[in-house]
């Protein structure tokens, strides 16, 4: 394992900002650390880079415990959200800075600087000062500077948050390419689920100082292990149901009984559960969706034209309102229809 966090906890005063977090990155992986503002991402980055000493737990790099090793002696490069380029140094001098600190001979240093400026497509800007570059170019200089010392681990801490949408998408693709070409083990920290899902081999989703789930983006999206992940990784509808039977799991959604044959949660009879399904996974029942094995009666309460599709809000007989993404002609407000859902696309969360 290239990076391993072992039961890491960090408290500011009595409040744990990071609470018993454990996960690892294999060599060459690109993992996104994803979570809302305040969930503890920056605290974790600081513990990994050696800028803070965790209250408890260990940080391991290449299997060695570095918890007590100072930041400058760890082979970890961090690119922060805000630019940290030296304004009085040229692009080349900025990239060479990390190497100079490691006492590389000057000829070799020039070669390495050229190699990494080539990698980020900035060889023609080597004599420019940061103020003469665009925001995107400055980010690429920082990437080159972080990569040139060939770190054990590259940490990108919200590197695209300060940029506009088009530039963000371009740089996201650039980062994916550069990571593939160099094979550098990368932890990409972000609060943006789309960014995380498009870039990463795996996601570590954090909420309130703890890890809510770890896995491949599509798996977490399609089979969310927690209600938090269900709602954080895209749009989620939830409705309540009562467990009638356990084997196979049978639930009552208002007046409708639904039997779920696939593997589902271990929940006791009589308990209230929460069902999750994404708006794009519900349709209005017609002959085209006979494969969707669950049906629910619903009344249309609202129709909004989004351009690419209609968001149709419906009320089911539990009183819960669900959104259905409808590509064709939408039904009219007040109409009563049957919803078609597929068991595969529904997740049941037990109480608590």
- Shortest spacing between CB 161 and ligand ATP, in angstroms: 9
Verify binding: residue 52, ligand ATP, rule CB under 6 A. Answer: no
Contact range with ligand ATP by CB under 6 A, out of 31-39, 175-183, 292-300, 330-338? 31-39
The nearer residue to ligand ATP, 56 or 128, going by C-beta atoms, is: 56
Taking the C-alpha atoms of residue 319 and residue 47, their distance in angstroms, rounded to an integer, is 46
Q: How many CB atoms lie within 10 A of CB 350?
A: 14
Q: Total residues contacting ligand ATP (rule CB under 6 A)? A: 11
Q: Which residues of 223-250 are buried (b: 16+ CB within 10 A; e: fewer)?
A: ebbbebbbebbbebbebebbbeeeeebb
- Shortest spacing between CB 212 and ligand ATP, in angstroms: 13
Contact range with ligand ATP by CB under 6 A, out of 39-47, 82-90, 238-246, 330-338? 39-47
Taking the C-alpha atoms of residue 342 and residue 121, their distance in angstroms, rounded to an integer, is 47
Q: Which of residues 212-241 bind ligand ATP (CB under 6 A)?
A: none
302 Cβ contact list (under 8 Å, min separation 6): 311, 312, 313, 333
- Shortest spacing between CB 189 and ligand ATP, in angstroms: 8
Verify binding: residue 86, ligand ATP, rule CB under 6 A. Answer: no
The nearer residue to ligand ATP, 81 or 295, going by C-beta atoms, is: 81
Contact range with ligand ATP by CB under 6 A, out of 36-44, 64-72, 126-134, 344-352? 36-44
Taking the C-alpha atoms of residue 178 and residue 31, their distance in angstroms, rounded to an integer, is 14
Verify binding: residue 12, ligand ATP, rule CB under 6 A. Answer: yes
Verify binding: residue 33, ligand ATP, rule CB under 6 A. Answer: no
Question: Contact at 8 Å (CB) between 324 and 285?
Answer: no
SS3 189: strand
Verify binding: residue 287, ligand ATP, rule CB under 6 A. Answer: no
The nearer residue to ligand ATP, 79 or 120, going by C-beta atoms, is: 79
216 Cβ contact list (under 8 Å, min separation 6): 201, 202, 203
From the number of C-beta atoms within 10 Å of its C-beta (0-12, 13-18, 19+), residue 349 rates as middle
Question: Contact at 8 Å (CB) between 271 and 243?
Answer: yes
Contact range with ligand ATP by CB under 6 A, out of 23-31, 40-48, 138-146, 297-305? 40-48
Binds ligand ATP (CB under 6 A): choice among 3, 39, 78, 241: 39
Binds ligand ATP (CB under 6 A): choice among 14, 37, 82, 166: 37
The nearer residue to ligand ATP, 147 or 206, going by C-beta atoms, is: 206
DSSP H helical ranges for 81-134: 91-100, 106-119
- Shortest spacing between CB 228 and ligand ATP, in angstroms: 14
The nearer residue to ligand ATP, 51 or 180, going by C-beta atoms, is: 51
Verify binding: residue 3, ligand ATP, rule CB under 6 A. Answer: no
Planar angle of CA 170, 174, 79, nearest 5 degrees:
105
- β-pairing verdict for 272-277 and 237-245: antiparallel
For residue 258, list its beta bridge partners. 251
For binding to ligand ATP (CB under 6 A), which residues are involved?
Answer: 12, 17, 35, 37-43, 191
């Amino acid at each position: 394992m290239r990076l391993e966090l072992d039961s890491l906890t960090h408290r500011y005063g009595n409040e744990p900002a990071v609470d018993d977090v454990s996960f690892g990155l294999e060599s060459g992986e690109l993992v996104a650390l994803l979570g809302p503002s305040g969930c503890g991402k920056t605290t974790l980055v600081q513990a990994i880079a050696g800028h803070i000493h965790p209250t408890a737990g260990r940080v391991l790099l290449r299997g060695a415990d570095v918890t007590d090793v100072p930041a400058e002696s760890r082979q970890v490069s961090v690119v922060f959200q805000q630019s940290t380029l030296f304004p009085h140094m040229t692009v080349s001098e900025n990239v060479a800075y990390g190497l100079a600190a490691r006492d590389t001979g000057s000829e070799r240093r020039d070669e390495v600087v050229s190699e990494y400026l080539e990698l980020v497509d900035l060889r023609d800007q080597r004599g420019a000062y940061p103020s003469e570059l665009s925001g995107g170019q400055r980010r690429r200089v920082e990437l080159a500077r972080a990569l040139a010392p060939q770190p054990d681990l590259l940490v990108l801490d919200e590197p695209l948050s300060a940029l506009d949408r088009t530039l963000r998408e371009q740089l996201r693709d650039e980062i994916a390419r550069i990571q593939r070409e160099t094979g550098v083990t990368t932890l990409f920290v972000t609060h943006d689920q789309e960014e995380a899902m498009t870039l990463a081999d795996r996601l570590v989703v954090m909420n309130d100082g703890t890890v809510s789930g770890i896995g491949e983006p599509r798996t977490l999206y399609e089979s969310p292990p927690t209600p938090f992940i269900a709602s954080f990784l895209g749009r989620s509808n939830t409705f309540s149901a009562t467990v009638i039977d356990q084997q196979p799991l049978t639930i009552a959604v208002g007046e409708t009984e639904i039997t779920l044959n696939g593997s589902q949660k271990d929940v006791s009879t009589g308990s209230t559960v929460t069902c999750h399904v994404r708006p794009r996974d519900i349709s209005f029942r017609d002959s085209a969706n006979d494969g969707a094995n669950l049906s629910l009666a619903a009344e249309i309460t609202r129709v909004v034209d989004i351009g690419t599709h209609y968001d149709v809000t419906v009320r089911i007989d539990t009183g819960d309102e669900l959104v259905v993404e409808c590509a064709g002609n939408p039904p009219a407000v007040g109409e009563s229809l049957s919803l078609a859902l597929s068991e595969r696309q529904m997740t049941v969360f037990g109480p608590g």
